[in-house]
Structure 1
Amino acid sequence: MINIKSASEGVSTASTSSKQEIKSPYVFLFIILLIAAAATWIIPAGVFDREMRDGISFVVNGSLHAVPQNGVHPLGVFTAIASGLQSSAPIIFLILFTGGALAVLESTGAIHQALNGIARSTKLNDYVVVAIFGLIFGVLGTTGVVVNAVVAFVPIGLLVARSLGLNPFFGVSLVYLTCASGFNVALTNPVTTGLTQRLAQLPLFSGFGLRGITSALFILACIAFLMIYMRKCRKNGEKRPELTDSIAADEKATTRHWLILAFASGTLVTFIYGAMTMKWGELEMTAMFVFMAIVAGMIGKLSASEIANSFLGGCSRIVSGALIVGMARAISIVLDNGHILDPIVGHLADLLAPLHPAMAAIGMYLSAALMHFAISSGSGESALLIPIYVPIGDMIGLTRQVVVHAVLFGEGIVNCINPTSGVLMGVLAVAGIPFGKWVKFVAPLIAVWMVICVVVLIVGVEMKWGPF
């Protein structure tokens, strides 16, 4: 039997030691917060006039005017943190409940058993195995079902790689890289796409069509990359062993497991429909995750206490990622309270104004990618950048949908090569892969993903990707 839980626990020490060597994103954001507070005493204060259009606030171009200086005092720094947490409460609770619901789903064993069944199969062609894993984990990643928990599935990838006679690079990629290919352009992930769009006042999960095409291109590019790599390994003499039944026999996925997976999928599809047709938002999605956790747990024959404990355990594992949204939001609150956010936006807009809007979008995309090396939390980075980038986009003619995806794409391409990512470092620790060798291995795929992002952003600018 493949004990995923114990495998995950076994790497906790390795991943923790890696994290201890990396400065906490909270420390980094707090330093930025202090710098922002000091800047409120130095940068001349000013504000833009704003106008409401269909209930959305837009900056009036050319309306920046001076106002009295309003430097933020030390106490104001800490009250800004509290205000950031308070104003971000709906998003924070959505993130927490996402982790809780998915923990209950994992506790039923449905996902593990289904994947183990594929891993044990001796009838599937090598390329079919790659395609199946690529599609499954691509979907799990793009819907946010499996994100940080992907570390627990790496042992399955390594077992499949061993059964195919391939190396750990392939095994890790079969699970982690395919999951990242979906997560990096998340269709319905409330922690990335949902958060960033709501910060920009966009309808939740809007722009689904072009984002769906982009996500499909990312996943297909990853599958093609793995197939090409596998063929290269075969040419180099890495053959499939004769005893292909070497993967440990676990109990097969039962009808109950498939029913749980079908219910979870149906719940997500229902929410997507509600978000697109009835403008459902954080409130409805939070409720949907609670509903999913309870029903999935009941189908999986978990007791009420087991459902509650799994849910709370899932929430606790994601607290740090949820609260960082409030910390990042505190920075924009300080800049706004000090009346220097608008002057900063105006200056940056003046720098970008001579550029074609597509080039400005690409500039935002690249700057978001660079920022992600310092702030490994995508939600934290979005909370930091969106309040600055959105008004810039308003003034230079970029739709908010383009701005949002410039930030999301920038974060996405860095995830798989980011040494400040605890998930990536934990995954590499499980497989015993050096970070430098991993970066060299994955570089060609990252380059392809970057090209896809640039092309999609250009298309988005030209088609006025909306709704606004």
Structure 2
Amino acid sequence: MNTQIDQSKNKGNFFTNLKFPSAYTILFILIALVALLTWVIPAGQYDRTMNEELGREVPVAGTYQVVESAPQGIVDVFYAPIQGFYAAIDVAFFILIIGGFIGLVTKTGAIDAGIERITRRLEGREEMMIPILMALFAAGGTIYGMAEESLPFYALLVPVMMRARFDPLVAAATILLGAGIGVLGSTINPFATVIAANASGIPFTDGIMLRLVMLFLGYVICVWYVMRYARLVRTDPKNSIVHDKYEENKAHFLGNRSEEELEFTTTRKIILAIFGCAFAVMIYGVSAAGWWMLEISAMFLAATVLVGFVDRMSEEDFTNNFLEGARDLLGVALIIGIARGIVVVMDNGMITDTILNSAEQMVTGLSSVVFVNVIFFLEIILSFLVPSTSGLAVLTMPIMAPLADFAGVGRELVITAYQSASGLVNLITPTSAVVMGGLAIARIPYIKWIKWVMPLIGILTFFCIVLLSLGTVI
């Protein structure tokens, strides 16, 4: 009798116990869906010519032609994550190095001791960290397109926000929305604005005033949205969308040590200084010296060795602590490779140019206001398929920008539509390693992030439409 009741309860709870699939499953499903599209969408290709300024080939408008189809099968679906990992190995390895670096520094107690000093000094004013930090991340986004470089900050900022009685989402939103709104309102970003301008044949400074307005107003909107949520969480922790994981997150990010204050020793101060300098050098290297994953990975590896030397760690402790930290971010590295696999399937199936050609046909002959908004929404769709801002610029601007001349719209407005669409989508797209990797580090389920951020996405979309429409008449 009791057994039957228990079985009945279990059956009744089947659907309520179902959970949204993990990031790995979502991305693998997307790979399979894109592979199916290669059987439906005709294969096609543009002629390409070398752009000397960009140092890469770009498509030539009006040269699209249908080519022999290359449908992707089951074997290709399983190849895609591996090929994607090959393509993203530099970013994935960077993540592992960062994990080892942060894990080693954390073991020294320097981060915990520093966090205690920060939270004590900001007591009663902790929420002011949000606009200040978001301004810094937005500056990184608008100046040099801060993206993968933001990933290390999640592991650093989540414990700070949790000690300030916020939650991991506040930390993740501060970073992701901060850098994201900077990219959306890119001004001199070489990976978006400059590449797009070069591909369009105009100076990258054209249209900069509209982008500055977009950057400032977008920043204000995002700060308001995050601070509003942060106050709700601080008033009542049950308002957190990840409240069900509170104890688990507390143990993971803050550890189980006692509440006794950590001594802020000279050694810990030096280690924290090395920690901060490493990130400052990374930002300088990327923005001013042309560094990318090889250089910054090597720099963090050198900083890791220096930290171990300052802390007088034994070789065994150094190795174990580094591997433990890298192990914590191994899942993030795998997510990055799988996400890149989606683009691999599209390119191998030769449907990327076909989708682009369809976009070209849709915008021909439209009025200026309609034209720029159709461009904006087309770039939104294409951004889901090509999350790389530089990749999307090289792919679409040589074709979309010349069409602006026939619609009576400045080419700089097409660039603004492209970068605002790309910046918007890269706040939510599961094909972005930055989105999926950052959320994985902060331990925020993707579906919960989507539910929380979608009202903001709606506001920002309307805001972009208004500014782009005004741009056609100003």
TM-score, L = length of structure 2: 0.63
Cα distance, 1:288 vs structure 2: 1.3
Counterparts of residues 202-217 of structure 1 (less than 5 Å): none
Residue identity matched to 1:147: Y
Counterparts of residues 219-234 of structure 1 (less than 5 Å): none
Residue 49 (structure 1) aligns with: 47
Cα distance, 1:140 vs structure 2: 8.1
Counterparts of residues 246-257 of structure 1 (less than 5 Å): 248-257=259-268
Residue 269 (structure 2) aligns with: 258
Cα distance, 1:410 vs structure 2: 2.7
Cα distance, 1:261 vs structure 2: 2.8
Alpha carbons 1:108, 1:302 under 8 Å: kept: no
Alpha carbons 1:183, 1:412 under 8 Å: kept: no
Aligned pair partner of 1:281 in 269, 283, 292: 292
Q: Distance in 2 between matches of 1:308 and 1:329?
A: 30
Residue 107 (structure 1) aligns with: 107
Q: Distance in 1 between matches of 2:81 and 2:436?
A: 27
The 3-state SS of whatever aligns with 1:52 is: strand
Cα distance, 1:293 vs structure 2: 1.8
Alpha carbons 1:52, 1:58 under 8 Å: kept: yes
Residue 382 (structure 1) aligns with: 387
Counterparts of residues 425-444 of structure 1 (less than 5 Å): none
Aligned pair partner of 2:344 in 315, 333, 353: 333
Q: Distance in 2 between matches of 1:414 and 1:29?
A: 10
Counterparts of residues 40-119 of structure 1 (less than 5 Å): 40-54=38-52, 55-119=55-119
Aligned pair partner of 2:37 in 32, 36, 39: 39
Residue 398 (structure 2) aligns with: 394
The 3-state SS of whatever aligns with 1:147 is: helix
Q: Distance in 1 between matches of 2:223 and 2:57?
A: 42
- Cα separation, partners in 2 of 1:311 and 1:275, compared to 1, 3 Å: same
**5+ long unaligned stretches in structure 2:** 1-15, 141-149, 184-188, 199-203, 236-257, 402-410
Residue 240 (structure 1) aligns with: none
**5+ long unaligned stretches in structure 1:** 1-17, 159-169, 188-192, 236-246, 372-379, 429-434, 463-468
Residue 24 (structure 1) aligns with: 22
What count of residue pairs does the alignment treat as equivalent?
394
Residue identity matched to 1:40: T
Residue identity matched to 1:95: I
Q: Distance in 2 between matches of 1:89 and 1:461?
A: 42
Alpha carbons 1:368, 1:410 under 8 Å: kept: no
Q: Please list the CA deviations of residues 316-335 of structure 1 after superposition, one character each: whole Å capped at 9, or x if unmatched.
A: 22223222333333333333
- Cα separation, partners in 2 of 1:314 and 1:130, compared to 1, 3 Å: same
Q: Distance in 2 between matches of 1:458 and 1:296?
A: 52
**Is residue 2:317 matched to residue 1:306?**
yes
Cα distance, 1:50 vs structure 2: 0.5
Cα distance, 1:61 vs structure 2: 0.5
The 3-state SS of whatever aligns with 1:43 is: coil
- Cα separation, partners in 2 of 1:227 and 1:362, compared to 1, 3 Å: same
Alpha carbons 2:107, 2:321 under 8 Å: kept: yes
Cα distance, 1:250 vs structure 2: 0.9
Cα distance, 1:136 vs structure 2: 5.4
The 3-state SS of whatever aligns with 1:41 is: coil
Q: Distance in 2 between matches of 1:19 and 1:98?
A: 35
**Is residue 2:152 matched to residue 1:145?**
yes
Residue 426 (structure 2) aligns with: 411
Q: Distance in 1 between matches of 2:309 and 2:336?
A: 32
Residue identity matched to 1:254: T
Q: Distance in 2 between matches of 1:144 and 1:45?
A: 36
Alpha carbons 2:88, 2:336 under 8 Å: kept: yes
Q: Distance in 2 between matches of 1:461 and 1:56?
A: 31
Cα distance, 1:388 vs structure 2: 6.2
Alpha carbons 2:23, 2:436 under 8 Å: kept: no
Cα distance, 1:456 vs structure 2: 8.8
The 3-state SS of whatever aligns with 1:293 is: helix
Residue 342 (structure 1) aligns with: 353
Alpha carbons 1:45, 1:339 under 8 Å: kept: yes
Q: Distance in 1 between matches of 2:455 and 2:76?
A: 47
Residue identity matched to 1:363: F
Mean CA deviation greater in 287-296 or 304-313 = 304-313
Q: Distance in 2 between matches of 1:259 and 1:408?
A: 37
Q: Distance in 2 between matches of 1:351 and 1:21?
A: 39
Cα distance, 1:344 vs structure 2: 1.7
